[in-house]
């Protein structure tokens, strides 16, 4: 048998090789492979002994306290989840069948002179889709701002990847801001307007920021309190999203 | 009679926060250990654990009841840990990087503390930090959590072969970095 390669030895260590018996036999006979395997074992044993702090007895309680108020509401569809799994599938099947019948009847009897878009319109479904999209959008925006707000660098910092993300977010923002304007949701439109300005600031900044420029950017973010506003808006959106389910 | 995870999941899905709390109580400690090994930092590990549970709550509807809730959480947590690590990289200030060993609660020396000299601890932590995000995730899941390669692949969203190669690369890098240390200690 040829010598065992490092990868074979790693698989042997984790007991995931195909022919463990052959490897064992080879290791018994081949000093070179045994030495290599010994070195691998010693390395992994050292890694093993890297300690992990043991969280205190109250750790789970602390985790719960920190997340409890951040859990978006889960409402609606309660009765569906309370059913046993087979019944849930039956309920879903019945709902789908009802939907098909409704679609057929609508197609059969609805005046054909109407625009197709009007047939498809379901205000509640539309609202739900919009809420999900806005919620996700706010999370992604928040992530970019958090990364920049927390960035520390002794030298200049390359923010080109954040800028690329900010460019994409700006065009999305316009869509959501205009929608909020049309639906008369002034508070949402106002936060999105502020967010858009901040994102534009980021896209127009140099792609490498000196520590001083980075600090100024951070101060602007803090002064506008935009992160807090996004968090509040995000939380409201998630709550509404739960209510429309 | 103690309820199963699945029973709590079913209740939590219908909006029962107390049921979800029970799941947090059951799983937060093992999740912390996983997150700590991924991030190498106590604060980041705590953030990753919280984010994992928040994500789990949001995605409860997608949980397949035939699977184990713990395993499902173990798929979420590495991704949250990676997000936290990426975010930490952005604010990397080397002087503020927390030594995982220094993060241990103070008090009497634990056997681990006694067993590891300062130099070894530092070198292991440095070697782990040299791994890429996917190598570190794959290694932690295979080595510390005992997942088989194909399960590692599922967590990473890649083929078992790719997961295997991430583990190989991780072990090879660790061996290169720590070999002088372990051969000197023989």
- ipTM score for this prediction: 0.77
B173 touches chain A (CB under 8 A): no
Please give the CATH topology (third level) of the domain spanning B1-87.
Rna Polymerase Sigma Factor; Chain: A (1.10.1740)
CB pairs under 8 A between A and B: 148
Please give the CATH topology (third level) of the domain spanning B115-186.
Arc Repressor Mutant, subunit A (1.10.10)
Tokens of B24: 């947090």
Minimal CA separation from B133 to chain A, in Å: 17
Q: What part of B 27-86 touches A (C-beta under 8 Å)? A: 28-29, 32-33, 36-37, 42, 46, 49-50, 53-54, 57-58, 60, 65
A71 touches chain B (CB under 8 A): yes
Instruction: Work out the number of other CB atoms within 10 angstroms of the CB of residue B12.
Output: 26
Tokens of B69: 């809730």
- The CA distance from B128 to B147, in Å, is 19
B186 touches chain A (CB under 8 A): yes
CATH 1.10.10.10 residue ranges of chain B are 115-186
B89 pLDDT above the threshold of 50:
yes
CATH 1.10.1740.10 residue ranges of chain B are 1-87
Pairing of strands A157-158, A208-209: antiparallel
A82 pLDDT above the threshold of 80:
no
- Position A110 confidence tier, pLDDT thresholds 50, 70, 90: very low
- The answer to whether B128 contacts A50, with C-beta atoms less than 8 Å apart, is yes
DSSP H stretches of helix in chain A: 6-13, 20-29, 31-48, 59-68, 78-82, 85-109, 116-120, 123-150, 160-182, 186-204, 211-224, 226-244
Q: Give mean pLDDT, residues A119-132.
A: 58
Q: What part of B 6-25 touches A (C-beta under 8 Å)? A: 10, 12-15, 17, 20-21, 24-25
pLDDT digits (tens, 9 = 90+) for B129-184: 889 888 998 999 999 988 899 988 888 778 889 999 999 999 999 999 988 877 75
- The CA distance from A233 to A238, in Å, is 9
A31 touches chain B (CB under 8 A): no
Which has more pLDDT, A91 or A182?
Answer: A182
A157 pLDDT above the threshold of 60:
yes
Which of A210-214's residues contact partners 24+ apart within 8 Å by CB, and which partners? A210/A156, A211/A153, A211/A154, A211/A155, A211/A156, A211/A157, A214/A148, A214/A151, A214/A153, A214/A157
């Amino acid at each position: 048998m040829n010598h065992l390669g490092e990868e074979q030895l790693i698989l042997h260590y984790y007991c995931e090789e195909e022919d463990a018996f052959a490897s064992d036999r080879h290791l018994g006979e081949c000093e070179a492979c045994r030495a290599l395997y010994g070195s691998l074992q010693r390395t992994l044993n050292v890694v093993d002994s890297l300690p992990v702090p043991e969280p205190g007895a109250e750790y789970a309680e602390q985790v719960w306290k920190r997340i409890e108020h951040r859990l978006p509401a889960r409402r609606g569809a309660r009765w569906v989840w309370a059913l046993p799994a087979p019944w849930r599938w039956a309920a879903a099947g019945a709902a789908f069948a009802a939907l098909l019948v409704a679609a057929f009847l609508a197609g059969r009897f609805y005046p054909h002179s109407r625009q197709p878009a009007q047939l498809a319109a379901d205000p509640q479904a539309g609202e739900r889709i919009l809420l999900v999209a806005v919620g996700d959008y706010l999370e992604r925006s928040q992530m970019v701002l958090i990364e920049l707000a927390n960035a520390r660098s002794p030298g200049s910092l390359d923010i080109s990847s954040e800028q690329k993300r900010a460019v994409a977010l700006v065009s999305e923002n316009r869509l959501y801001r205009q929608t909020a304007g049309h639906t008369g949701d002034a508070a949402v439109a106002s936060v999105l307007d502020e967010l858009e300005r901040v994102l534009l600031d980021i896209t127009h900044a140099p792609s490498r920021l000196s520590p001083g420029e980075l600090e100024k950017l951070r101060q602007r973010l803090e002064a506008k309190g935009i992160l807090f506003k996004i968090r509040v808006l995000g939380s409201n959106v998630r709550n509404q999203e739960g209510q429309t389910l | 009679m103690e309820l199963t995870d699945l029973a709590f999941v079913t209740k939590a899905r219908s909006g029962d926060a107390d049921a979800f709390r029970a799941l947090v109580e059951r799983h937060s400690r093992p999740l912390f250990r996983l997150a700590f090994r991924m991030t190498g930092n106590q604060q980041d590990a705590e953030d990753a654990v919280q984010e994992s549970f928040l994500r789990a709550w949001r995605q409860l509807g997608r949980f397949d009841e035939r699977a184990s809730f713990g395993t499902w959480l173990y798929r979420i947590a590495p991704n949250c840990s990676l997000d936290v690590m990426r975010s930490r990289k952005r604010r990397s200030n080397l002087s503020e990087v927390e030594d995982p060993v220094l993060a241990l609660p103070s008090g009497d020396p634990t056997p681990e503390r006694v067993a590891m000299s300062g130099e070894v601890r530092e070198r292991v932590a440095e070697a782990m930090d040299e791994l890429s995000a996917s190598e570190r995730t794959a290694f932690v899941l295979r080595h510390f959590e005992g997942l088989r390669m194909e399960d590692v692949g599922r967590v990473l969203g890649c083929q078992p072969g790719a997961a295997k190669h991430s583990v190989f690369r991780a072990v090879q890098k660790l061996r290169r970095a720590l070999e002088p240390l372990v051969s000197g200690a023989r």
